[in-house]
Amino acid sequence: MNKILLVIRREYLTRVRKTSFWVLTVVVPVLMAALYAIPIYLSVKPVEKTTVMIADESGIFGGFDRNDTLHTDCRFASSDNITYRYAATYDYALRQMEKDDNVSAILYVRSRASGAIPTDACLYYKTDLPPSNVRYDIDRQLQRILRNRLLRSHGISDDEYALISNTKINLRTEDLETGREAFLDVKTALGVILSLLIYFVIFMFGSQVMRGVVEEKTNRIVEVIVCSVKPFQLMMGKVTGIALVGLTQFLLWVVLTGVALVGIQGSNPELFRQAVQKHDMTELATKGTDATIQMQDADNLANVPQLVEGIAAIDFNVIVPVFLFYFIFGYLLYATFFAAAGAMCDNDTDTQIFSLPLTVPLLLTMLLLPAMMNSPSGTISVVLSLIPFTSPVAMMLRIPFGVPLVQLYWSMALMVVSFPLCTWIAARIYKGSILRYGRRLTMFRRKK
Amino acid sequence: MFLEAQHIDKSFGDFKALDDVGIGVREGTVFGLLGPNGAGKTTLIRIVNRIIRPDNGTLLLNGNPMTDNDVQKIGYLPEERGLYKKMRVGDQALYLAQLKGLSRHEAAARLHKWFERFEMSDWWNCRVEELSKGMQQKVQFVVTVLHEPKLLIFDEPFSGFDPVNATMLKNEILALKEKGATVIFSTHNMASVEELCDDIALINKSHVVLKGSVNDIRRSYSRNLFEIVATKSETPMSLPQDVRITKQQIGDEEETSFIMLPDGMEANELLGLLMPQRSIRSFREVLPTMNDIFIKAVDSE
């Protein structure tokens, strides 16, 4: 068997057999599934029923004529969980609260000079803070009633209001040549996600390479190995083996997360269907029943198809291969240098010092990410996406926006050309340092 | 010559580690590479192993320039010995053997034989970190000789071995020599040189200061000193003026004398002088120990 394959095999198997590998492999999907399932369980968990007393001295919120059936939209509307009861006076409300355990809070609106619009209201509670959904509901209803009162007093009909509040102008960004919409938000989000992903992959597996090299060096096993394998083979075997470990883990994460999600949903399908339905219903309920607000809902909902449309507009045929290219070459470029840095270390504490120069270009790109987001085809973006050490992260940010092919090809070409060059340099450092202890690298001083 | 290194130079920065070093190792012999710390022994060994390249000079194996493929024929036990701590002994031995070009199957078969012989079969599934240092050294030794190399190189093999394992190692080295392997080892342990080595080279301050067969070297350093054991006698030995008795130990029945002869005087003459005076029980030439030669050669530099 080829020796480099033997090295790859060892690097791969020893890592995959470690307990920590499997712990991480299981923990991440579990966390992901939990992240998805826990909010749903919490949202479905029945909310305690509660009663809120309303002591409205201003009369604006329906406190004066409790039997006014004409103006239901100017009164607090009870829901399944929250019952609103009007009290004639604050004292009466207080007494009710002492008598009845269900009463959890009193909404008190102070009277002001007649006709004046109240600017604040107070929610009094005893010991237990009212849950946030109650506070949220009260707030919304206050705003709604106030607005409806004002509309009424100014003689504006519901239809007129709907017309005013729903008229808006939509600014789109469109490519002059293709006539297609740009969907900038979706693309920025995608770009940031891809950049972060590449950044983490390079860091995580790069430092694994480094630790592996330091281990071999401090163990002193390296001397036995380099007399049967060339240092270059050892280095590349390690880099490749760890890359395969990374890919295995990544694949397992995707598969296991999928299995976990399906499993959770399968274990209690009713719950999840309920959760989705309930979510929709509470949305509608809290937004009130007025036509005007329903109109607004419709407007908000329009964003969802827009998101779908935005994602559909992204050319994944380009993004996926480009991502894979920079994923592989970015990792290889950095991993060889991490190996070289590891070879220079005498012990684990050295690793931080020696990995610092490697992290600078990556960190720099991350720091410039906001500037690049602002202008994905600006000078900074173009330059960073051409330099081989910054291009994996920078290009990932740019690629959803579409990159001129000339730039893309140049960037890739530079990457391809610099890879053997950098590997050669890294291999030289590695070779020169791997058997040297306690002495700093001298290869730059001499030729041979 | 089986292995020949000619005019090897090697510098690290400003430091000249080897300066025009040449050694020749005969096939089927044990060759000792001696020298104080920092003399350049490990550098020379690494050059022979092709771990580092010499600045100048040639290496010949059986008269042909050495190539990278020849490394397969070498078994190397470095001074700083290490194994992957977390790996299991068996996996690790298999891996290292495969790197030396053995098939997995062949490696496993040979390993089991060696492990049985050294009574270490129980360790197969242990992690290396669970073994004691002596146990790890045994594993390393087995891995070094497993591919039955023609040339074995041990750098300071006895350092860190307890006396039991050191003796075992000595016997193994001799056994390997019996089987036709050529052995090079570097050491400070001069007693082991006398026991094991056929030839030596002494390196000091990057130069070879002494080389040749152990017997020739000891003879060339001979001080014409003899040890005579004779029955005890009241009368002192009467010897010519230039014959010196360096030391005399008188026991209950015997007396042991160390007598140094002047240049040109033969041992037979001494015997002729003594025979009328004493009843001689044993007579032998005292050759200088390698330790004495080592110190003398290094000090005279």
- Closest CB to A224 among B11, B72, B96: B96
* pLDDT confidence band for A157 (50 / 70 / 90): confident
Nearest CA in chain B to A442: B13
Query: What's the first-to-final CA gap in chain B, in angstroms?
Result: 28
Return the H-helix or E-strand segment holding A125: strand A122-125
Q: How far is the CA of B13 from the CAs of A409, A432, B37, B150, in angstroms? A: 42, 12, 19, 34
Q: Number of CB pairs < 8 Å for A and B? A: 67
**Partners of residue A228 in chain B, C-beta under 8 Å:** 71-72, 96, 99-101
User: Pick the residue with more confidence: A184 or A17?
Assistant: A17
What average pLDDT does this structure show over A418-435? Answer: 87
Is B87 an interface residue toward A (CB < 8 Å)? yes
Neighbours of B69 (CB within 10 A): 9
Could you tell me the pLDDT band of residue A334, with boundaries at 50, 70 and 90? Answer: very high
Of A227, A442, A445, the CB nearest to B71: A227
Q: What are the phi and psi torsion angles at A15 (to 5°)?
A: -75, -45
Domain A50-166 architecture: 3-Layer(aba) Sandwich (3.40)
Provide the 3-class DSSP secondary structure of residue B262: coil
Q: What is the nearest CA distance from A227 to chain B, expressed in angstroms?
A: 6
∠ CA(B156), CA(B160), CA(B166), 5° rounding? 80
A-chain residues within 8 Å CB-CB of B104? 1
The token duo for A6 is 């033997």
Query: pLDDT tens, B234-271?
Result: 888 888 888 888 888 888 888 899 998 888 888 888 88
Radius of gyration (C-alpha) of chain B in whole angstroms:
24
Angle at A386 between CA A398 and CA A185, to 5 degrees: 10
Higher pLDDT, A307 or B37: B37
Spatial CB neighbours of A96, under 8 Å, sequence gap ≥ 6: A53, A85, A87, A103
The domains of chain B are located at 3-219, 223-299
Q: Distance (Å, rounded) from C-alpha A393 to C-alpha B172? A: 57
Residues A356, A203: contact at Cβ < 8 Å? no
Residues facing residue A86 across a β-bridge:
A54
B285 burial level (CB within 10 Å; 0-12, 13-18, 19+) = middle
Rounded to whole angstroms, how far apart are CA atoms B30 and B53? 24
Q: Are A140 and A288 in contact (CB under 8 A)?
A: yes
How would CATH label the architecture of B223-299? 3-Layer(aba) Sandwich (3.40)
Position A313 scores a pLDDT of 67
Contact A224 B140 (CB under 8 A): yes
Determine the residue among B43, B80, B104 to mutate to test chain A binding: the one whose Cβ has the most chain A Cβ atoms within 10 Å. B80
Exposed, middle or buried: residue A155 (CB in 10 Å: 0-12, 13-18, 19+)?
exposed
Distance from the B58 Cα atom to the nearest Cα atom in chain A, whole angstroms: 16
pLDDT tens for residues B117-162?
888 889 899 998 898 888 888 898 899 999 889 999 998 888 777 8
Q: Looking at residue B236, what is its pLDDT?
A: 83
In the three-class reduction of DSSP (H, G, I as helix; E, B as strand; rest coil), residue A96 is classed as: helix
Candidates B3, B301, B1; CA nearest to B151 is B3
The token duo for A321 is 């291969």
In the block, tokens 């707030």 appear at A139
For residue B111, what pLDDT is reported? 93
Rounded Cα–Cα distance for residues B12 and A444 (Å): 12
pLDDT of residue A66: 56
Between the CA atoms of A305, A307, A313 and A315, what dihedral angle is there, to the nearest 10 degrees? -140
* Residues A208-242 pLDDT 10s: 999 999 988 888 888 888 888 888 889 999 999 99
Nearest-CB residue to B76 (from A10, A221, A227): A227
- Tell me which residue of B157, B79, B80, B171 sits closest to B117, measured CA to CA: B171
Shortest Cα distance from A442 to chain B (angstroms)? 7
Instruction: Point out the residue among B91, B100, B140 whose CB comes nearest to the CB of A228.
Output: B100
**One fold for B3-219 and B223-299:** no
Determine the Cα–Cα distance for residues B59 and B67; give it in Å rounded to an integer. 9
**pLDDT (0 to 100) of residue A78:** 85
Distance in angstroms (rounded) separating the CA atoms of residues B125 and B120: 11
Radius of gyration for the alpha carbons in chain A, expressed in angstroms and rounded? 32
Look-up of token digits 């089986």: B2
pLDDT at residue A254 greater than cutoff 70: yes
Which pLDDT belongs to residue B301?
Answer: 67
CATH tag, B3-219: 3.40.50.300
Amino acid identity of B244? R
Please give the C-alpha separations between residue B281 and each of A177, A283, B230, B240, in angstroms, as whole numbers.
116, 117, 5, 22
Using alpha carbons only, what angle is made at residue A323 by residues A322 and A327, rounded to the nearest 5 degrees? 120
Residues of A in contact with B77 (CB under 8 A): 224
Give residue A62's identity as a one-letter amino acid code: G
Q: How many residues does chain A have?
A: 448
Helix axis angle, B104-117 relative to B89-99, nearest 10°?
130
Helical packing angle, B89-99 and A3-16, nearest 10°: 160
pLDDT for the residue numbered A439: 54
Q: Is B88 on the interface with A (CB under 8 A)?
A: no
The one-letter amino acid code at A25 reads T
Q: Name A285's Cβ contacts closer than 8 Å, sequence gap at least 6.
A: A79
pLDDT in tens, B168-213: 888 988 999 999 899 998 987 788 888 889 999 999 888 898 889 9
How much is the pLDDT for A415?
92
Q: Is the pLDDT of residue B228 over 70?
A: yes
CB-CB neighbors (< 8 A) of B13 in chain A: 442, 445-446
Q: What is the C-alpha separation between B155 and B153, in angstroms, rounded?
A: 7
Residue of A nearest to B76 (CA): A224
Alpha-carbon gap, residue A240 to A9, rounded angstroms? 10
Q: Which residues of A touch B (CB under 8 A)?
A: 1, 3, 6-7, 10, 13-14, 18, 215-216, 219-230, 435, 442, 445-446, 448
Specify the DSSP element, H or E, that contains A170: none
Question: Strands across the sheet with B225-231, in order?
Answer: B244-250, B254-260, B225-231, B280-286
Q: Is the pLDDT of residue B108 over 90?
A: yes
Instruction: Using a CB–CB cutoff of 8 Å, tell me whether B84 touches chain A.
Output: yes
Distance (Å) of CA A255 to CA A105, A248, A316, B163: 48, 11, 21, 56
Structure tokens at A146: 């106030």
Q: In degrees, to the nearest 5, what angle opens at C-alpha A195 toward C-alphas A193 and A199?
A: 115
Could you say which of A14, A228, A448 has the minimum Cβ distance to residue B71? A228
Interchain proximity A227–B74, CB inside 8 Å: yes
- Chain B residues whose beta carbon lies within 8 Å of the beta carbon of residue A6: 95, 98-99
Classify residue A409 as exposed, middle or buried by CB count within 10 Å of its CB (0-12, 13-18, 19+). Answer: exposed
Compute the nearest-CA separation of B100 from chain A (Å): 6
CB–CB contact A435 B81 (8 Å):
no
Any A CB within 8 A of B83 CB: yes
Cα(B301)–Cα(A90) distance, rounded to whole angstroms?
A: 109
What was the pLDDT predicted at A179? Answer: 67
- For residues B138 and A181, the model is more confident at B138
Return the SS3 of A128: coil
Asked whether the predicted pLDDT for residue A30 surpasses 70, the reply is: yes
Q: Give the residue with greater pLDDT, B189 vs B97.
A: B97
Closest partner CB to A220 (pick from B13, B52, B80):
B80
The nearest alpha carbon in chain B to A214 belongs to B84
What is residue A127's three-state secondary structure?
Answer: coil
How far CA B50 is from CA of A227, B25, B31, in Å, comes to 7, 17, 19
Residue A439: partners with Cβ closer than 8 Å, 6 or more residues away: none
Tell me if B123 sits within 8 A of B131, measured CB to CB: yes
ipTM reported for the complex surpasses 0.85: no
Pairwise CB contact (< 8 Å): A14 & B143: no
pLDDT above 70 coverage of chain A, percent:
82
Residue A129: pLDDT band by 50, 70, 90 thresholds?
A: confident
Nearest one of B233, B236, B239, B193 to B217, comparing CA atoms: B193
Q: Provide the sign of the torsion angle of the four alpha carbons A139, A145, A147, A150, taken in this order.
A: negative
Residues A359/A386, Cβ–Cβ less than 8 Å: no
In chain A, ranges of CATH 3.40.190.10 domains: 50-166
The three-point CA angle A145-A148-A152 to 5° equals: 140
Residues of chain A with C-beta less than 8 angstroms from the C-beta of B96: 224-225, 228
Contact A221 B84 (CB under 8 A): yes
Helix (H), strand (E), coil (C) string for A175-215? CCCCCCECCHHHHHHHHHHHHHHHHHHHHHHHHHHHHHHHH
Contact B296, B223 (CB under 8 A): no
CB contact under 8 A, B82 and A223: yes
Taking each helix axis from N to C end, the angle separating A231-267 and A184-219, rounded to the nearest 10 degrees, works out to 130
**Which DSSP helix (H) or strand (E) runs through A337?**
helix A316-344
Mean pLDDT, rounded, for A185-199: 86
What is the reported pLDDT for A292? 44
How far is Cα of residue B115 from the mean position of the Cα atoms in its chain? Answer: 25
Q: How confident is the model at residue A442 (pLDDT cuts 50, 70, 90)?
A: very low
Residue among B151, B163, B224 nearest B191 (CA): B163
